């Protein structure tokens, strides 16, 4: 799969629900080992659709979420002391405190540096100039 927005997130953006607000929600990223589970943008909708064993590391809430000109952006993010298996993708999701209700938003597997093998150091994800995604 290549970089994509999850179908359920798109449906929400287009008026089928109000679960993802943008600037007022908490967003995080996870690093995913696709040797254990590969996210499927067409059918996965919540964090619990990604096997726990495939989740290598999770960020804290992303700083300064903003919506402008149809794009969603945040500050760059650093995930500290990342260990575990190689990961092949990054998933952006809305954090609700429950895996069963944390909406999957975007999937990235073509970012610079992927796949990545953690060595216990910090991993910094630099957000693209226009933001995480635009509609």
pLDDT, one tens digit per residue, over 89-120 is: 999 999 999 999 999 999 999 999 999 999 99
- In angstroms, the CA 74 to CA 88 distance is 22
Which parts of the chain sit beneath pLDDT 50? none
Domain count across the chain: 1
- In angstroms, the CA 89 to CA 27 distance is 17
pTM score, whole prediction: 0.93
For 103, half-sphere exposure in the C-beta direction (CA atoms, 13 angstrom radius) is 21
pLDDT for position 102 = 95
- CB neighbours (10 Å) of residue 61? 12
pLDDT for position 10 = 84
pLDDT for position 1 = 61
pLDDT for position 57 = 98
In this structure, is residue 135 part of a structural domain? no
H or E stretch covering 7:
helix 7-13
**Residue matched to tokens 């919506």:** 67
pLDDT for position 21 = 67
In this structure, is residue 134 part of a structural domain? no
Q: Which structural domain, as residue segments, surrounds residue 92? A: 4-128
Coil/strand/helix, residue 133: strand
| DSSP character at residue 125 | E
pLDDT for position 29 = 98
In this structure, is residue 76 part of a structural domain? yes
In this structure, is residue 20 part of a structural domain? yes
């Amino acid at each position: 799969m290549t970089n994509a927005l999850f179908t359920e997130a798109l449906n929400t953006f287009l008026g089928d629900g109000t679960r993802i607000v943008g600037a007022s929600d908490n967003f995080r990223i996870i690093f995913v080992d696709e040797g254990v589970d590969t996210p499927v943008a067409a059918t996965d909708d919540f964090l619990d659709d990604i096997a726990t064993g495939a989740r290598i590391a999770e960020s804290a809430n992303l700083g300064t979420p903003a919506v402008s000109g149809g794009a969603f952006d945040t500050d760059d993010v650093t995930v500290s002391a990342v260990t575990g298996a190689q990961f092949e993708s990054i998933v952006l999701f809305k954090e609700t405190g429950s895996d069963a209700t944390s909406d999957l938003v975007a999937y990235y597997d073509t970012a610079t540096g992927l796949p990545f093998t953690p060595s216990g150091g910090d991993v910094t994800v630099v957000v693209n100039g226009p933001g995480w995604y635009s509609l």
